Structure 1
Amino acid sequence: MIRILTGLAVATGLALTAHAQTTYPLTLQNCGVDVTFQNAPGSVVTVGQAATEVLYSLGLAEKVTGTSVWFTDVLPQYKDVNAGIERLADNDPSFESIVAKRPGLVAVQYEWHVGPQGIVATRDQFSDLGIPTYILPADCAGKDNSVGSDGTRTAMFTMDGIYQGVSELAQIFDVADKGQTLVQDLKAREAAAIEKARALDLKGASALFWFSSAEIDIDPYVAGRKGPPGYMMNALGLTNVIESDEEWPTVSWETIARANPSVIVIAKMDRRRFEADDYEKKLAFLKSDPVTRQMDAVKNDRIVILDAHAMDPSIRNVTALETLAEALPGFDLK
């Protein structure tokens, strides 16, 4: 996209930037809870890679004093700055480790970390210490996190929740202009990827997203029909062979093989909680198991390796759309 800025456009842009300054106190309703900020937080601890990377993308890395819950390497452009920020835990941090940083805000990716039964703590526990919490709305909007191990979607995921999270964090930290720029860029990339895939007219093509498995040869964790992968498949013209509304249901390989997806997308991650976190072991299993190796996607090598973090709600969802849109033309799916 080429943008030509006239003198009027530049002046208007400057006016918009000035107008975008946050007025405090600022109150936002976040995942059903009202959160008030008297001023921009001086520091923030993140519980979730998605929240971390949004803050980095908004130029707020100097505010981040601790991170946690990582699936893969940080986005390449933030490798150096991230190396200088303390990682409180690769997975779930302790309540004490967060409080010890005395943060002005705790930014959270998943409600189950700080929700009513929060495995780190509840929002009330943080509030009692004067520490506000902000959960990325993409994990709450159109979703019931009290049902299923990873929650159940009550409505199809859209990128609106991602853009809302970017805009509201930018507002909280008084950098609304940076939030606006980031959202505009992501929206343009999203639209371009969808247009590219839709031009293929993939009638009848289907897909499966495999995140991981507790054991390599047991029922896998696969993407339900209404989460981010479901949105991606729908946007790109693919049918999800999984009909569950759970975020990541377990489904037997026999059931998946009967559905015979045209394309299989597997997650690549640095995390090693399960054996199947290793994407190379996923590939080896698909090609050797007597059930899975009979699927068309495996026999015809229609397998896409995708960053695991891009399968969960995050700004990486746009990159995932681009990756899939690049791969699909080579699969001869018509």
Structure 2
Amino acid sequence: MNRFTLTALFAMAAPAAMAAPTEYPLTIDNCGHALTFSARPDNVVSIGQATTEILYALGQADRMAGTALWFNAVLPEFEDENERVERISDNMPSFEAVVAKRPGFVPTMFEWMIGEQGAVGTREQFADLGIPAYVMPADCEGKDNLVGADGTRLAPFDIQTVWDSINQMARVMDAQDAGDALIADLKARETAVVERAAAMNLPDSSAAVWFSSADLELDPYMAGAMGIPAWMLERLGLRNVVTSDEEWPTVGWETIARADPSVIVIARMDRRRFPADDFEEKLRFLKSDPVTGQMTAVKENRIVILDAEAMHASIRLIDGLEVLAEGMDRLSK
């Protein structure tokens, strides 16, 4: 039994704390679009590891018909659930592959998957087939996904959008108690890790977060000033050396080297679109390149390896905070 399910069971053991069941038809507002569900959905197809693992944590694997778009291996506690759900694609699925499952609900973690220029399809295409397509609020609220390769933040990322995502998906699936328990667990862990970082007393420490690169000879994709990794750094008392409002702007290594961050965070992923998706290739580059090799963080091995999915608006976000806090211990030694 995984820790999320166990927490949910404790919550449901207290009848007074139980939420009212979902009343259908249910209509929710999703990034300015009204989605209506006539009943609890079957054959859910989740496009994105974040939405998939939320559904697993809510105990909804038995109502899922497929998943797609993975960055890391599934969390160990969800391996059994994941074995029972078909993986339509490791990366971007086709519209035809998704609708072939006759889904009653298609949630995604990224608006560029389902949106005005959706790589899988538009909301209208799904709506024409009577399929509610849902985008996590973390990727559409306070963000313009039509500007920049991965969108541009109009306001800093707000963790409330993750809680809203879990709440809404729990209501859709009539799993409110599991959703409440999941959010309570994540909030408690967030509080604990922030307190731990504050106790380290590391004034003016900084960081740079490297997701990947289209080519190791090209400028890397770094975490922008208002995105999710920037929120993580701020919560732990670190300053992001990248100032762009784009989600993942390309920034020259010379610029990053001049900023000389105290810590470099690199993404580890199983995806292999680019050579730099391999974190070991990142490490080799940092240590061998004449520019990056001169950075203090590289010389002193202040490099934190973080699962890519922990840099997304997901239940792994708090895992990422915890791993990053462990890496910050090196700054005080």
TM-score tier (shorter): over 0.9
CA distance in 2, matches of 1:12, 1:302: 45
Deviations 1:133-157 (A, max 9, x none): 1111111121111111101111111
Which range moves more in the overlay, 308-317 or 51-60? 308-317
Q: Residues of 1 paired with 2:252 and 2:12: CA distance?
A: 59
CA distance in 2 between partners of 1:238 and 1:201 (Å): 11
Corresponding residue number in structure 2 for 1:51: 51
Equivalent residue number for residue 228 of structure 2: 228
Segment of structure 1 superposing worse, 47-56 or 24-33: 24-33
In structure 2, the residue matched to 1:294 is 294
How far off is 1:262 after superposition?
0.5
Determine the structure 2 residue equivalent to 1:5. Answer: none
Once the 2 structures are TM-superposed, how far is the Cα of residue 24 of structure 1 from its aligned partner? 1.7
Q: Work out the CA distance in 2 between the residues paired with 1:11 and 1:161.
A: 24
Q: Distance in 2 between matches of 1:20 and 1:235?
A: 34
The DSSP-based 3-state class of the residue aligned with 2:200 is coil
Moved more, 187-196 or 74-83: 74-83
Q: Distance in 2 between matches of 1:284 and 1:214?
A: 16
Q: After superposition, what is the alpha-carbon deviation per residue over 1:203-240, rounded to whole angstroms, capped at 9, x for unaligned?
A: 11100000000111210000001111000111100100
Is the contact made by 1:217 and 1:285 (CA closer than 8 Å) also made in structure 2? no
1:196 maps to 196
CA distance in 2, matches of 1:10, 1:239: 37
1:211-222 → structure 2 map (5 Å cutoff): 211-222=211-222
For 1:177, the equivalent position in structure 2 comes to: 177
List 4+ stretches of structure 1 deviating above 3 A: 9-13
1:332 is displaced (CA, Å) by: 2.3
Provide the alpha-carbon RMSD of the alignment: 1.5
Q: TM-score, normalised by structure 1?
A: 0.94
Does 1:142 pair with 2:142?
A: yes
CA distance in 2, matches of 1:69, 1:308: 12
Instruction: Provide, for residues 1-55 of structure 1, a one-character-per-residue CA deviation record: whole Å limited to 9, x for no partner.
Output: xxxxxxxx999941331x4311222111101101011111122001111000000
* Structural mapping, 1:1-334, within 5 Å: 13-17=14-18, 19-332=19-332
Distance 1:47 1:102 in 2: 14
> Which one is further off, 231-240 or 134-143?
134-143
Q: Which residues of structure 1 form unaligned runs of 5+?
A: 1-8
For 2:308 and 2:173, the matched residues in 1 are separated by 28
Partner AA of 1:16 in structure 2: A
Aligned length: 324
Instruction: Name stretches of at least 5 consecutive residues in structure 2 with no aligned partner.
Output: 1-9
SS in 2 for 1:66: strand
Deviation per CA, 1:248-295, whole angstroms, max 9, x where unpaired?
000000011001000000000001100000000100100010000000
Distance 1:227 1:314 in 2: 13
Taking the aligned partners of 1:325 and 1:158, their CA distance within structure 2 comes to 20
| TM-score of the pair, normalised by structure 2 | 0.95
How far off is 1:201 after superposition?
1.8
After superposition, give the CA deviation of every residue in 1:54-80 in whole Å (9 maximum; x if it has no partner): 000000011111010011101111112
C-alpha displacement of 1:186: 0.3
Sequence identity percentage: 56
Distance in 2 (CA, whole Å) between partners of 1:208 and 1:220 is 11
The residue identity in structure 1 corresponding to 2:27 is T
Aligned partner of 1:3 in structure 2 is none
**For each residue in 1:278-327, what CA deviation from the matched residue of structure 2 results, as whole angstroms up to 9, or x when unmatched?**
00010010001000000000011000000011112111110000111122
The amino acid across from 2:290 in the alignment is: P
Kept in 1, the 8 Å contact 2:11–2:177? The answer is no
Distance 1:12 1:80, change over 3 A: closer
Q: What are the superposed Cα offsets for residues 165-185 of structure 1, whole Å, 9 maximum, x if unpaired?
A: 111100011110110000000
Per the alignment, in what secondary structure is the counterpart of residue 36 of structure 1? strand
Separation in structure 1 between the aligned mates of residue 12 and residue 300 of structure 2, nearest angstrom: 55
